[in-house]
Structure 1
């Protein structure tokens, strides 16, 4: 970063000429002026100013040595190259929620090393997220911007955008410096000790969330930022007793004054994130029946088999019981893994959303994306168990290769990693007529088979089994909806793409483009009449625009007339609600094709992770070119 180089040059001499700086930094006069302007915008927060000495050059004036030296330390360096809009928004939220001072656009522009216009554009999304947190941005001419609002809401936003943010930058790292003074393990053990005393149980995620709340409580109390309004709802006496005991212990352990109102808020958090069978036996029975009904409805809709998984049922009961208390007190869990869950488990997230819709309808409250992410993890665990269980069903497997010989033996060895307890036989295609394929539980083939060979489950596989291909085979097995169903092959994925559903540089408005693509799919007989409406309903809940401009919208319910993916590519990306859009894959599948959705998600993830492939796809001008480039990337 040239700013640090400039400061190091100025430190060496009391005054250095403009020409010398331009030569040593390899920059022009205008770039040097801009760099000096950026340095001074940042410097007023970090104790330094670069002065212009007429006809002599530049001078570094350090007026707060402690701040300046902290700024120069390696841990405060903010890498700004390659920051996309989402990361910039995340960092701005991180800065605003920790700063007690007004922050200017100029300061953010210089800190993030982007133009002021970019900051102003990004700030629309910042303000949206702040407002979604029931907070406001106070804008004061000549001073800047700061976050204001209810202290309870500030703490929720703080947890979501500060603690769950991996950044660690100056000048707003106060919370992390504070945590170094707190023995977090000791706090955790003390809290667990009290839970045990009152026979309360807690999941690991909920325990982490409660401890996080306690730490924020301590940090904000030290800053004399107290709860200014909290509508206390009745909780069981034991929760209040635990909250009072932990706060008394904290005040004895640390020199921090905690406001008495914090007891009620902490008690509500504990009530919403712990449970006891003794206290809620009647409620548990009612919720158990409700969840069984919901799982049955999901199975009918997606052709899955979740209702018979007792482990899943118990996990969801344990999750939903305290969840209802959380909703009652307007307290929700934060989920630091949400983005990973959202992108890598897109198909499972869809199930979790349907589960949440039905829960919301029954109990009349809205779940956050973070809460739905935790439910998605329960479903993901279910499918992992089902995958392992289904693999055990295949005792005798036939592998058909085009060549046989050494490649067949290599395939056999690798397949043993997927089916360790199965008997695996390999044959070349010219020996098929001599083989009693009816005696096998599963056929894996590297070449297309005639219809007569499809009396047993068949999976088309690549000749080279890398980690991705092994994972794909496992996914297909996991998502097979019915016994003896012929599974979709990797080649069938390409049958989902259609030339009459391919668009180049279309409408540069995300929602309007989705309406155009959805209505077109309906008109051409691919989708049902409610397809566009269901897609927009899904997007209005949580937008499916992922990183690097890859979007994978889909309806809330799968009910296509004909499986298809509509594709829109934009050589020049556009922005929608501060998210870049480059490629849109509008997914339209029939009921029961959840595993296909997973395979499509894998393609989207590949494009997200490999930006050079995405660049190539986004520049395609014809459907033929698009398919060729996509196949080259995936196969």
Structure 2
């Protein structure tokens, strides 16, 4: 069914107003691209529940409900699914806020549900917690309890708080007072911490106070105590603990101050922008610099992205690793709210970060989680964008009826929209076009019909440059000619398979690869290794497994659909694309990534593919 965000869009549109994608994005705190993807999902879903979303150029989206009964039934079904998810989070928090057992009847009374409902929710929660390294024990006459190290319990406690956006007191004056106090002390002590780092630190302090109220204190090893108490950051933590204790009404013991120091070390950053790269090595240890270089080398070796010579990227990676290595060392976590969007929007950059994570684990003997991988991918994505901007730009000529006011308006709109990718060489009228040489022009953008036959591509647009006009220009700039079907042959498609687990599906697809291509003998192991680093689930029941590094000379894609969804790293999957990219990165590969993303975001097409019984029904969906 629909996600919370999509239901939120519907509730917004139920007010009866029209909203543009940008307005909805601003109100929900997401990108316009995410809103467009959500609108595609809503449009395909609502058509079977008596409602439709109309889109008008320049005005926005409007919801029209033709069958209120069917529409409300759909919302109730979605709400029922959300209700269990919410209850599981609240049940987890009840357990994590106490040192003793929680009786079933007490949980049922607190959550306003029956004991049988609590038992069902507990089964879901137990599976989740076990995947995080915690155990749930049930003791007759006593109840339920979560078992694990205090550090694990606090990390999980935090993730459940953030999952439901219910950090206790997050909006009240006391929480804000605590945050302002933390910022003030860090500033006084000249300790630079990013906004995300400050939020992490404040939430940690809040959780520490909650756990201490339940009689649970951080357990710090003697070796960690000895090394951390000698650091400058420990002195900062001592001052912070004293001030915080007054606000929260608690007296933080030494173990908690040491634990707070760990968080400061994990959040502390350095700034080099004003000093320049020349002085950068003075604030980052040689070991961190060498690790950063090694991470870039491993990506270049396997993906040929030519990143090793990008000093700005080297600085970004090293600056991220400096506090990150402390987080790894002390088992601390940092949340990446953009993770899902990063994985979907920048798949090649995320794959590069996975390779970095694997190498980092070899060099430091610590495992890096998906949130950290996402931040590394942002740095890589920025570097790839810089490379793209340095490529030869296409030169465009703007043609309008008069060649004066309207052409100037379009000229500046094009410059703003395609800056760095297209150079607007000039403007002229339709009459002047006949006398102008077009040898240096790659594209003509015209607001008037051009009757003459020209070898240069022509795009007819509106003076105000509508979204459909932008799409036409985008297709020429990126030379998008290929669709997903160009990369998937008919004999690479396997419909309505009966496999019930991930390993069996992967085994089957690898066997099909071996029948058709020369592949490494350890291809299956390379694919599973990639899954262990970060599951390749995308969205809309689709997974895109692939080897942890490229192994083919040309891109190869195999497609498999299942009769029933299977578990794929905690998500349901029913469509699998085995994705083997070439060793050499090129523009064709970028087209493959983009066509894959476009298909996966189209929920209606994915749904039709799942139900397709033969190639005749399947192939048009991939075109």
Normalization by structure 2: what TM-score? Answer: 0.68
Does 1:525 pair with 2:517? yes
Does 1:203 pair with 2:194? yes
Is the 8 Å Cα contact of residues 347 and 597 (structure 1) preserved in structure 2? no
Q: Which residue of structure 2 aligns with residue 249 of structure 1?
A: 243
Q: Which segment is superposed worse, 412-421 or 288-297?
A: 412-421
Across the two proteins, how many residue pairs are aligned to each other?
509
Q: Deviations over 1:128-158 (max 9, x none)?
A: 5423444221223466533233322211111
Does 1:96 pair with 2:92? yes
Q: Which residue of structure 1 aligns with residue 366 of structure 2?
A: 365
Superposed displacement of residue 274, structure 1 = 1.1
Superposed displacement of residue 227, structure 1 = 2.4
Which is greater in Rg? 1
Is the 8 Å Cα contact of residues 509 and 558 (structure 2) preserved in structure 1? yes
Q: Which residue of structure 1 aligns with residue 451 of structure 2?
A: none
Superposed displacement of residue 557, structure 1 = 1.0
Is the 8 Å Cα contact of residues 519 and 532 (structure 1) preserved in structure 2? no
Q: Deviations over 1:533-584 (max 9, x none)?
A: 2212111222212333111111111222432211112344344565322211
Secondary structure of residue in 1 paired with 2:163: coil
Q: Which residue of structure 1 aligns with residue 504 of structure 2?
A: 512
Q: Deviations over 1:215-266 (max 9, x none)?
A: 2122333344322555551124321111111111122233234333211111
Secondary structure of residue in 2 paired with 1:289: helix
Does 1:82 pair with 2:83? no
Is the 8 Å Cα contact of residues 352 and 372 (structure 1) preserved in structure 2? yes
Does 1:630 pair with 2:603? no
Quickly say closer, same or farther: Cα 1:541–1:461, change in 2 above 3 A: farther
Give distance in 2, aligned partners of 1:113 and 1:550.
34
Q: Which residue of structure 2 aligns with residue 131 of structure 1?
A: 130
Q: Deviations over 1:292-342 (max 9, x none)?
A: 233133234222232333322222111111222222222232223323323
Q: Which residue of structure 2 aligns with residue 158 of structure 1?
A: 157
Does 1:240 pair with 2:239? no
How do 1:311-322 residues align onto structure 2 when only pairs under 5 Å count?
311-322=312-323
Gaps of 5+ in 2: 1-74, 272-278, 399-407, 428-434, 446-454
Is the 8 Å Cα contact of residues 270 and 283 (structure 2) preserved in structure 1? no
Give distance in 1, aligned partners of 2:601 and 2:106.
32
How do 1:178-577 residues align onto structure 2 when only pairs under 5 Å count?
179-228=170-219, 230=221, 233=224, 234-235=227-228, 236-275=230-269, 281=282, 284-387=285-388, 389-390=389-390, 393-394=392-393, 396-397=395-396, 418-420=417-419, 422-423=423-424, 439=440, 489-491=480-482, 493-506=484-497, 507-525=499-517, 527-576=519-568
Secondary structure of residue in 1 paired with 2:557: strand
Quickly say closer, same or farther: Cα 1:443–1:580, change in 2 above 3 A: farther
Quickly say closer, same or farther: Cα 1:145–1:577, change in 2 above 3 A: farther
Q: Deviations over 1:376-429 (max 9, x none)?
A: 222233334444x337x4262489xxxxxxxxx999998655445613699xxx
Is the 8 Å Cα contact of residues 394 and 442 (structure 1) preserved in structure 2? no
Superposed displacement of residue 587, structure 1 = 1.0
Q: In angstroms, what is the RMSD of aligned CA positions?
A: 4.7
Quickly say closer, same or farther: Cα 1:582–1:436, change in 2 above 3 A: farther
Give distance in 2, aligned partners of 1:98 and 1:327.
28
Give distance in 2, aligned partners of 1:395 and 1:279.
36
Normalization by structure 1: what TM-score? Answer: 0.67
Is the 8 Å Cα contact of residues 550 and 604 (structure 1) preserved in structure 2? no
Is the 8 Å Cα contact of residues 526 and 563 (structure 1) preserved in structure 2? no
Give distance in 2, aligned partners of 1:268 and 1:252.
21
Give distance in 2, aligned partners of 1:587 and 1:473.
29
Q: Which residue of structure 2 aligns with residue 588 of structure 1?
A: 580
Gaps of 5+ in 1: 1-78, 169-174, 400-408, 427-433, 445-453, 478-486
Superposed displacement of residue 621, structure 1 = 1.7
Quickly say closer, same or farther: Cα 1:323–1:517, change in 2 above 3 A: same
Quickly say closer, same or farther: Cα 1:534–1:577, change in 2 above 3 A: closer
Q: Which residue of structure 1 aligns with residue 604 of structure 2?
A: 612
Give distance in 2, aligned partners of 1:548 and 1:566.
18
Secondary structure of residue in 1 paired with 2:343: helix
**For 2:571, which of 579, 583, 592 is the aligned residue?**
579
Secondary structure of residue in 2 paired with 1:562: coil
Q: Deviations over 1:422-448 (max 9, x none)?
A: 13699xxxxxxx99987457899xxxx
Superposed displacement of residue 287, structure 1 = 2.1
